[in-house]
Amino acid sequence: MRSERDYVAGLYTRLDDERARVKEEFDAALRGNGGTAVERNVEVRSLARESKRLDVADNGLCFGRLDTVAGERSYIGRIGLFDEENGHEPVLLDWRAPASRPFYVATAVSPEDMRRRRQFHTRGRRLVDFTDEVFGRPGGGEHGDAALLAAVNAPRGEGMRDIVATIQAEQDEIIRLDHPGVLVIEGGPGTGKTVVALHRVAYLLYTHRERMERHGVLVVGPNPAFLNHIGRVLPSLGETDVVFTTTGDLLPGLRVTAEDTPEVARYKGSLKILDVLAAAIADRQRLPEEPIPISLGDVTVRIDAETAQWAREEARESGLPHNEARAVFTEIVTYVLTERALGRIGRGWLTRDDRTEWEEMRQGLLKQLAQDEKFGAALDELWPVLTPASLLSSLYTSPEKLRNAGADQALAREDGEAWTVSDVPLLDELIDMLGQGKQPEDTAKREQQAQAQYAAEVLESLVDRKESMDDEDHLFATDLLYAEDLADRFVEQDTRTLAERAAADRDWTYRHIVVDEAQELSEMDWRALMRRCPGRSFTVVGDLAQRRSEAGATSWGTMLDPYVPGRWDYRSLTVNYRTPAEIMAVAAALLAEFAPDVQPPESVRACGIQPWSKRVTGDELPAAIEEFVRAEAEKEGTSVVIGPPGVPGTVPASETKGLEFDAVLVVDPERIIDDGPRGAAELYVALTRATQRLGVLHEGPLPPALRGLNEI
């Protein structure tokens, strides 16, 4: 024990030395130590990332040791540390390194050339105990699950914890899976699919950092409470270039304030809504009911239906978004009006052979049209510049516009801008369907950012070329000078982190996206997410049996095949690490009723506490809830009261998806089932949130699946 304590203490000393060195270099870089703006910026950002990587390692820096059959030792930890004075030898292996894999997958049957796995138990920076698992001898693996059981039995805190010290073999296989495209991880409650997905992101960032860190990672969750719950996992693993969001927050600056009925949400989530959006845009591309007179010079010309029809056809056939196609529409109308005006003004004395006079008159008429308010008003009437919000809100508040677009009248509402979660992918779609229009400042800014990005990439590629040149390669000094000049010219001194910049930019594209509770996403939600990841690199996490949304997935292929046909991989998790067997038996009985083809996950443990139920009257219910809350407040851990909408003191099951609590009280389960077509799935979610204790309060008879509960 003493030698292991000394070794761990030495690792912390080395960690502190590394921190001091990085801080000194970071301070020097901030003061400026020569080099170009790009080089200084790259150095500052690199040192900032290294500083954050070192800062996460205080708790559980080293959590184990591997001994090979050849007698070699390797210590496994949260980050990697090296002995710079001894040939950069590793003194602590990062848990993501290939050499660390046997720590998670070695078994007595398949020891991976390992003789022993030692798991450390630490408190702060001090090693207090360790457990050995010796492979190849009888009973050698009897303590192998000690660390895991200690972790799953521990009281829950405010957020999800990482599992770097207790990753199981089936989880490790998924985390390290070398699949560049879309990976679907499906598992029942408590199987750890969310935390596995987050560790997979940390692994991908470790193994493909140069490719991934420039664009970052997006993590999409079902609600803010869930994102807050999981938000500390990746930072605890040293990864901060991550944006956490819900589908309702994908558009920066948009605020969701209302909720759709399940039927309307299903309608908006279907790809059929694309036809409605296209028709709504086409409805605003109008023909004049009566010719519109425009004064040009001393004559009056008219925009008639025939002219507008020609211009509209040309604009639509251009394939440009609506606002950008306005230029084509305007060009045709302008051509017709000036031709008509020139023919009348020059009648009898001007021929097309008089090219100079003809062109001078045309330019004068064009200038006059550009300044003519009536002509501008006519264009706005026939081909207006539209914004996504104005188009969609006017559609919702006009029964006539809904009819013209072939839309269901169920979309109608009084407040057109009372946005719902289901509106977000529609607004996102309209941004591309409408185009930029009159936004030159935004366009110029975006172009400048693109040039800065390009310049940085040019410089980076040239430096890489210089380092890898052989005798036949040639790299002129002017190449590097040009790249530095280009980068200095366009680089902006933006002090925001990558995550802050990405979250504020709707057009940001990510290298990888994690979608949790993915069974809830609609077809339109998937379009919005695919738009944000051109490389189609996703980790998709969900459980079809827990689907609540009517617009959600009934199969993974339905959602993914339109984008990555035959190129997505599927993995399942079957072991329940959260829900004890006593509680899972109750949930499994319910699952068998509404999803008989789904196999419930197998619990890895029992807690020894039987779930209970209690029948109360409506008058007794508030006091019973208060009694539960008061009793749990005196215990260590967390608790929650889950109930149907409208019951004071409860939260709906949908707001607890992905969360876990030591104790759960479910109120009125029969009303939860009756609240919508997916009510049974909602109750299944509620029952599987508890890690230790489950109680049920009911006014009426219990649902059949719950009648085996101990009544108190």
**Sequence-ordered alpha helix ranges (H) in 614-711:** 621-633, 669-674, 679-687
User: Is 257 labelled as part of a ligand binding site?
Assistant: no
Pair of tokens at residue 225: 């409470």
Diameter over CA atoms, the chain: 113
d(CA 266, CA 88): 57
User: Is 187 labelled as part of a ligand binding site?
Assistant: yes
Does residue 520 contact residue 220 with C-beta atoms inside 8 Å?
no
d(CA 446, CA 635): 54
C-alpha distance from residue 144 to each of 121, 139, 147, 166, 231 (Å):
13, 10, 7, 10, 29
Pair of tokens at residue 570: 């599927």
Does residue 233 contact residue 195 with C-beta atoms inside 8 Å?
yes
Pairing of the two strands 299-303 and 292-296: antiparallel
One-letter amino acid of 182:
V
d(CA 698, CA 707): 11
User: Is 141 labelled as part of a ligand binding site?
Assistant: no
d(CA 294, CA 547): 59
Best CA proximity match to 197, nearest among 223, 166, 163: 163
User: Is 193 labelled as part of a ligand binding site?
Assistant: yes
Best CA proximity match to 215, nearest among 508, 597, 436, 625: 508
One-letter amino acid of 349:
W
The four Cα atoms 649, 655, 658, 662 give a dihedral, to 10 degrees, of 0
User: Is 190 labelled as part of a ligand binding site?
Assistant: yes
Best CA proximity match to 516, nearest among 277, 227, 238, 264: 227
Residues 6+ apart with CB under 8 A from 336: 303, 307, 310, 311
What's the chain's Rg over C-alpha atoms? 32
Q: Identify each DSSP E strand in 399-469 by its residue range.
A: none
User: Is 425 labelled as part of a ligand binding site?
Assistant: no
Q: Which residues pair with 301 in a beta bridge?
A: 294
d(CA 326, CA 320): 9
d(CA 333, CA 455): 41
Pair of tokens at residue 109: 């049957």
Binding residues for ATP: 187-194
Binding residues: 187-194
